Amino acid sequence: MTNEELKGQHEKAAGDRFTEYYNKENKANFVFKKQPPPPKPDLIYYDEKKNKAIGIEVVDAYYDEHDAKGTWNIARGKTRNSDSGLLINPDEKLAEFISDRIKIKCGKTYSFSDSIILLVVTRPTLTEDKQDFQNNVLPHIKLPNYITLSEIYLELNLPPSYRHYLRLYPGSGYTI
């Protein structure tokens, strides 16, 4: 499997999980339609009853580039563990990584006229629980002054298998 195929599978799985949550929260029925090439969002979902589409752009957040590389090497079957090394201020590093990815995605121009939702996926292995994340990572996340996306959500994956969604924009969304 190529890197692009693996990335596409990961984006689709994240989008499908999120859409299930989003549908429940918004009493909607968005279903996967397609995975178009750029400059469109990564995924397009459509609700026939509402005659409405949403685009979902998926981005992953890590503690640092070493953590990102190690995580993807595991996914590719190249190694069994990550070699991230020593992290100083890991909560702040993760928040900075998240903030940077949001800023980058807000700076992109998409060829899509409907709502676009940014989904930031993170697996903070050094975070104890959702309260730890809420207290130590969220306060350090900085949203850009100019946001071009309709909504921004964070998918928080905590061991062993807990998944939480936080809406970062619009609104505070800092309650998990």
Domain membership flag for residue 64: yes
Domain membership flag for residue 120: yes
- Answer for the pair 64, 97: CB distance below 8 angstroms, yes or no: yes
- Answer for the pair 71, 122: CB distance below 8 angstroms, yes or no: no
Of the chain, the percentage scoring pLDDT greater than 70 comes to: 85
Does residue 92 surpass a pLDDT of 60? yes
Domain hosting residue 82, numbered range: 3-169
Domain membership flag for residue 113: yes
The mean pLDDT of 79-103, rounded to a whole number, is 81
| Alpha helices (runs of H) in 76-175, residue ranges in sequence order | 90-106, 130-136
Domain membership flag for residue 175: no
- Choice among 50-54, 160-164, 167-171 with the minimum mean pLDDT: 160-164
Largest Cα separation within the chain, whole Å, is 51
Domain membership flag for residue 11: yes
What's the structural domain count of the chain? 1
Domain membership flag for residue 174: no
